Amino acid sequence: GESVGLHLPTLSVQEGDNSIINCAYSNSASDYFIWYKQESGKGPQFIIDIRSNMDKRQGQRVTVLLNKTVKHLSLQIAATQPGDSAVYFCAETPDNYGQNFVFGPGTRLSVLP
Amino acid sequence: NAGVTQTPKFQVLKTGQSMTLQCAQDMNHNSMYWYRQDPGMGLRLIYYSASEGTTDKGEVPNGYNVSRLNKREFSLRLESAAPSQTSVYFCASRSGDRVDGYTFGSGTRLTVV
């Protein structure tokens, strides 16, 4: 069956360093991938997405990399700031309408001063 | 502010009690969703409504019912609460068919004792 998981449940980084959060998925038919950020007491917020026909996509201070060969997704955050402290989820869906997202359990990112 | 509003934010129920979680969005989105979030697990889809007047089961629908009251409102009902339904519940809405269009509410923390 489908599964999406994260390699590390927690990640601590120094302020100013780059952060890399990883995600593995098992459904080779997945077509869309999304990263969400969830701050304490809030709902998930969309960060960036990528389609399966791409291997890299950049946003503001964030980059998502997709390696379909090994079914691996990563989120890179440049110059990590205290405001980046949150739980980060990856999610994937095989369909164009996004009705059947599978979410990973999340990685907690802690930014150290 | 425009967005998804969930009520209540916190609720404690006794086993066997019933309650309805309310969700409303003011972004004129067609699709609305109910997820539950449990420790160490990703968000799991309970029910969704692709458009006003339609509802469909998600991954974990047992023990729940939903009503798409109108385009703005999508409620989740627990007829006979069980301790296994202790969770944080998130409502989301989505614009059109774009997978990056999800907006989540801030969640309802439900405890069933």
Q: Tell me whether residue A13 is in a domain.
A: yes
Domain carrying residue A84: 4-91+103-112
Nearest residue in B to A37, CA atom: B104
**pLDDT (tens digit per residue) in B22-39:** 999 999 999 999 999 988
Q: Tell me whether residue A37 is in a domain.
A: yes
The answer to whether A49 contacts B44, with C-beta atoms less than 8 Å apart, is no
Give the nearest partner residue to A99 out of B43, B48, B90, using CB atoms. B48
The domain that holds A80 is classified in CATH as 2.60.40.10
Q: Tell me whether residue A15 is in a domain.
A: yes
Task: Check whether B2 has a pLDDT greater than 60.
Answer: yes
**pLDDT (tens digit per residue) in A25-46:** 888 888 889 999 999 888 999 9
Cβ pair A25, A87 in contact under 8 A: no
Q: Tell me whether residue A96 is in a domain.
A: no
The CA distances from residue B5 to A25, A37, A87, B49, B90, in Å, are: 31, 18, 21, 16, 10
Q: Tell me whether residue A63 is in a domain.
A: yes
Distance (Å) from the alpha carbon of B111 to chain A's nearest alpha carbon: 16
Q: Tell me whether residue A72 is in a domain.
A: yes
**pLDDT (tens digit per residue) in A10-23:** 899 999 999 999 99
Q: Tell me whether residue A18 is in a domain.
A: yes
Q: Looking at the 3D structure of chain A, how many domains does it have?
A: 1
Q: Tell me whether residue A97 is in a domain.
A: no
